[in-house]
Structure 1
């Protein structure tokens, strides 16, 4: 399966809440969804409250369908209080590479 829809998000956590945001992202319900092919979380080395997420989905429709569901909406409700301001999203469809995770 290949990604047909994806994005790269830059998210700023509330001051001092970067670790909490990373922990929540690493427990995202997307990780267990077969339509989510890539879910990568990264953190700025210079600013621990700056977090990056890259996602790749089989389709835009699959992504929308998943996030319209109750599980995803409950997750978003937990996510929102940790975020400061507006996140930025850039259209990015993952096409390959390598991930080494600790």
Structure 2
């Protein structure tokens, strides 16, 4: 079960973590039906920080890259960018070996 995974942290400007999370949850709805999307998980730290974590699992890197062409995704990226405290760092690329996700 070799899959392509990404795990990354996006730091919002002070007070904008919830708004950033809502935008990313919108992205999850858009890409949920994209070819190869197996998981798009949006999380926030329980400490009340403005950091938002995104964990993704795809059948391949190509499927992930193609998801950026899903209608509406680029518009959500444009909405999210002004909320970021800095330039987004590249997420950790992972080779997913296996596990379990309940439906």
Q: Quick check: TM above 0.5? A: yes
1:62 deviates by 1.1
State the aligned residue count. Answer: 99
2:99 to 92, 96, 101: 96
Q: Secondary structure at the match of 1:32?
A: coil
Report which stretch shifted further, 43-52 or 27-36.
Answer: 27-36
Contact 1:56 1:93 in 2 (8 A): no
Gaps of 5+ in 1: none
Q: State the SS of the aligned residue for 2:68.
A: helix
Local SS of the residue matching 1:85: coil
Q: Residue 3 and residue 82 in structure 1: after superposition, are their counterparts in 2 closer, same or farther (change >3 A)?
A: farther
1:17 has 2:16 as partner: yes
**Partner SS, residue 19 of structure 1:** helix
Q: Is 1:30 the equivalent of 2:31? A: yes
Q: TM-score, normalised by structure 1?
A: 0.80
- Contact 1:12 1:83 (C-alpha < 8 Å) held by counterparts: yes
Q: Is the 8 A contact 2:34 2:70 kept in 1?
A: no
Give the conservation status (yes or no) of the 8 Å contact 2:35–2:63. no
Residue equivalent to 2:57? 56
